[in-house]
Amino acid sequence: MNTGEIYEVHIEKLSSTGSGIARIDGFVVFVPDTCPQDKVKIKIVKVNKNFANGELIEIIEPSKHRVTPFCPMQKICGACQIQFIDYDYQLEIKSEIVKDVLHSIGNIDIEVPKVIPSPDIKNYRHKIQYPISQTKNSKRILAGYYKPSTHDIVNIKYCPIQPEICDKIIDFIRNKAQELKISGYNEKEHTGILRHVVIRHSAENQNCLVTLVLNGDLTKNIGILAQKLYDSFEQVVGVCVNINTKRTNVILGNKTQCVCGKNYIEENMCGNTFHIGAETFFQVNPKSAQNIFNYIKDFINANYHKPAILDAYAGISAIGICLSDVAKKVVSIEENLKSVELAKDTAEMNNISNIDIYGGDAEDFFKKQKQKFDIVILDPPRKGCTPDSLSYAMELCKGHIIYVSCNPATLARDLKILKDNGCTIKSVQPFDMFCHTYHIENVVIIEV
């Protein structure tokens, strides 16, 4: 097999990164933009030691699961990689991906049920982060997502996976920024002032907090833009600016200030009110998050009476706060100190007295703990847990570990460590947090 060669292949399944998998004489070829059961013509674009990458040239016989994407920008915008596959089949594919990854990486063979669907499959995304740039000659402001495998911005006027008001706000910012001669960011030259726009939208109250990310200090014209935005939309409860002057792919810098209105929106979860700020980690799909919290709560109610719970990698302690009504005591640990303060405020605001919230590294916190817990909840970032953190978690737990993960690969790696150290993987339940993408959220129940 050589680069540039043309083949006709059948797509067997999808990989964990959303590419179709075909085989040529037993050799694996990954082909983006394909669906299981497609018969396609492809060109080999790269040959590696154990696999090749192919490029779709023609769909010869489409899979019965192919549909017309409801977004006209799907092919050129990289946000919804599998929107051309019917939704029920997306859920089946994601279950199969989880099963395959657990087997291949974790050597774990367990039944993986169908993914629990998102209550909404359109307008579900309640956090929007658009990079901003500017055309060279006309100085037109561009805002949207990056084309796949590039940093070229697709100028998006309409996105059906986010609330409609967000499209209107972005369009207002595009036009008003150009009118005020506010420059868009040039990533290569590290010039231009307006770098990103971040919108947090409340599913509960249908209002927004808008954050303008700046490559420099707040200017007079940015202040005018913020005020005009605040005055023009009754749904905008606040406008903030965030300063990020570093050459980095990280969106937000360390300094945020509120320019107009409030610096938070309110969201409701499990009957509790949460304040969500510009820098707050909170699930982008609140209704799917609610499904996850209810699933965990149902397990606890069926197996425990008022357990002691450790909530690790807690963010703003959303899980711990939502479980507080079925727990004797919740202890929460999170390293981001802003999230810790927000979690404490949230607990106080909701009159929750049986939760202790601490700031610091989870592994360091585990080392110092002498108390044992009935349930240890692990909800780490995509990189997963360290082996030492898993070891400490097992020592601290006298019942079950509940592992919440957004990355099947690191989940499988960590579950193998737990299994090899005597734990039993009781169940795996995937949830669809990011519809029409290859991303999958999983909740795993582990008996220690």
Catalytic residues: 406
Would you state the structure tokens that stand for residue 322, as one six-digit string? 């939502």
Q: Residue 327 — φ and ψ, nearest 5°?
A: -110, 150
Query: Do residues 193 and 171 lie in contact, with contact meaning Cβ atoms separated by under 8 Å?
Result: no
Question: Most distant CA pair in the chain: distance in Å?
Answer: 67
39-47 sheet: strands from edge to edge? 6-10, 39-47, 51-61, 27-31, 20-24, 13-14
| Angle, CA 309 vertex, CA 308 and CA 310 arms, to 5° | 130
- 3-state DSSP assignment of residue 213: strand
Q: 410: which residues sit within 8 A by CB, 6+ positions away?
A: 380, 382, 383, 384
The rounded radius of gyration (Å) of the Cα atoms in the chain is 23
Would you state the structure tokens that stand for residue 154, as one six-digit string? 């697709």
Q: Residue 218 — φ and ψ, nearest 5°?
A: -60, 125
Query: DSSP secondary structure string, 236-283?
Result: EEEEEEEE--SSSS----SEEEEEEE-SEEEEEETTEEEEEETT----
Cα 246 to the center of its chain, rounded Å: 23
| Angle, CA 200 vertex, CA 260 and CA 76 arms, to 5° | 125
